[in-house]
Amino acid sequence: MYRKMTLARLILCMSLLAVASGCGKRAPVNSVAPLATAPAPVVLPTSPGTSAAATRGLPDFTELVAQAGPSVVNVSVVERGHAVRGDEEEDADDPLHDFLRRFGGQPRGAEPPARGEGSGFIVTPDGYILTNAHVVEEAREVTVRLTDRREFTAKVIGVDHRTDVAVIKINGNQLPTVKTGDPSKLRPGEWVIAIGSPFGFDNSVTAGIVSAMSRSLPDGQYTPFIQTDAAVNPGNSGGPLFNMAGEVVGINSQIYSRTGGFMGISFAIPIDIAMNVKEQLIKTGKVQRGRIGILIQDVGQQLADSFGLDRPRGALVSQVEANGPGAKAGLKPGDVILSVNGIAIDRSGQLSATISQLKPGTQVTLDVWRDRTSHKISAEIAELKEGRGNGAVKSDDHSSGRLGLSLRPLSALERRTAGLDGGLLVESVEGPALEAGLRPGDVLIGANGQRIASAEQLSSLVEKSKRSIALLISRDGSTIFVPIKLRD
């Protein structure tokens, strides 16, 4: 009996092992297995008027694109042709020249007109459209194509090169328009989408996030750009940048690239600046900007230490125009402008953009950091108009070891030649000054916000300074502050 039960158990176990082996058999290496369906992302609804959507997972842009997409247009441009070369009259007797002229060909010596494409968006129901200046500035013909494939001939109303904003107009009514938002409410990390016509592909949608705000670019001193990583390519220029509430917050304008194609960094013009330009171009055909007659630069850590600021911030005044609004208000080289009418200035580009949008004649209150204390200075805004070698004379030398500079006073002739009322000529450079970029021929005219009349005065300031000192240098007719990390 015991042997029978043992044999039966053995048979049962072998059967179970056979079943288990069949269920666990691996599929062949080259077989295709079905993919598991990923769970749908959860999207939290947004309340109207908010500038960002609270999302978990990836956001859904379909409703936004459906609502905003029809207001985005393709802008096709035929540029002005180049003049025919001077021997055209000689070609007029050529039978081939006459044939080409009669049947629409291009005579010898004439270049075919260039064509280009960009993007834009409708801002009024009667057909005013915003785009980039560089899209239409050389246009002979401008054609606007809507998402329903209707085409209109557009007129260029005005172009502003300083902000790269242009206004064009088509004849229409009840056209779909965009909603405009407030760029100042954007935050790095917030989702945005770009709609445009890259390479002529109408209403292409790309998404990304805000990478940074108030970016200064070398050719855009009047525009604190919005930086994003939304893909922008040739043809996207002039198209809108939307926040998650479906509001336009910028105009896609530039990319940073080493190849000519998108590399993850794009820049947009804030819509509030563009709308200000639009209103002026429509009313007067030109843009009026404010100025206070100063040259400014960013404040780095060493400059902040030199001037006693708690951190790098503000716009450092490096030069004041004689008899300009800044000079009349009492601004001096070495002043750091921290705010305009209560609006904080973190970088120099913000000051340029803020002042330029003010009307001439406006009174502004500047919060100025001078001599390690804050001062209030009132200035009147003026209008920004468009288009706006030393001899060697023997003297006593002075060497500042902590700086690495060899200096001497300017002679009377040198002062007249350079247009300066004083200063110390840099004769040789080494050590910290060389590392900071100073060079022989520079003229030292100030340090830490004080005018320098003698080498002894400079030495005294150097001794009082701890980690760094800010030198005001005149070079090639311009002045700039140079921070120098002092040698122990």
Alpha-carbon torsion angle 473, 478, 481, 482, nearest 10: -60
Catalytic, out of 164, 305, 335, 442: 164
H-only helix segments in 75-171: 88-91, 95-102, 133-136
Residues listed for the chain: 488
Catalytic, out of 134, 216, 229, 298: 134
Q: Residue 1 corresponds to which amino acid?
A: M
- Reference 270, options 351, 191, 353, 352; nearest CA is 353
- 297, 337 Cβ separation under 8 angstroms: no
Please give the Cα distance from 458 to 406 (Å, whole number): 12
Please give the Cα distance from 386 to 371 (Å, whole number): 35
Measured in Å, how far apart are the chain's first and last C-alpha atoms?
Answer: 101
Element (H, E) at 276: helix 271-284
3-state helix, strand, coil in the chain (%, to 5): 25, 35, 45
The set of residues, in sequence order, having a beta carbon less than 8 Å from that of 117 and lying 6+ positions away, is 74, 75, 76, 77, 197, 200, 235
- Reference 77, options 177, 145, 159; nearest CA is 145
Strands 179-180 and 405-409: what pairing?
Answer: unpaired
User: Residue 137: exposed, middle, or buried by beta-carbon count in 10 A (0-12, 13-18, 19+)?
Assistant: middle
- 137, 159 Cβ separation under 8 angstroms: yes
How many helices (H) and strands (E) in the chain?
Answer: 12, 28
Catalytic, out of 76, 204, 237, 406: 237
For residue 398, give the 3-state DSSP assignment.
strand
The set of residues, in sequence order, having a beta carbon less than 8 Å from that of 48 and lying 6+ positions away, is 245
Please give the Cα distance from 477 to 452 (Å, whole number): 18
The set of residues, in sequence order, having a beta carbon less than 8 Å from that of 28 and lying 6+ positions away, is none
Q: Is 164 a catalytic residue?
A: yes
Please give the Cα distance from 373 to 336 (Å, whole number): 10
- Reference 136, options 151, 122, 154, 148; nearest CA is 154
Q: Is 237 a catalytic residue?
A: yes
Q: Is 161 a catalytic residue?
A: no
Active site residues: 134, 164, 237
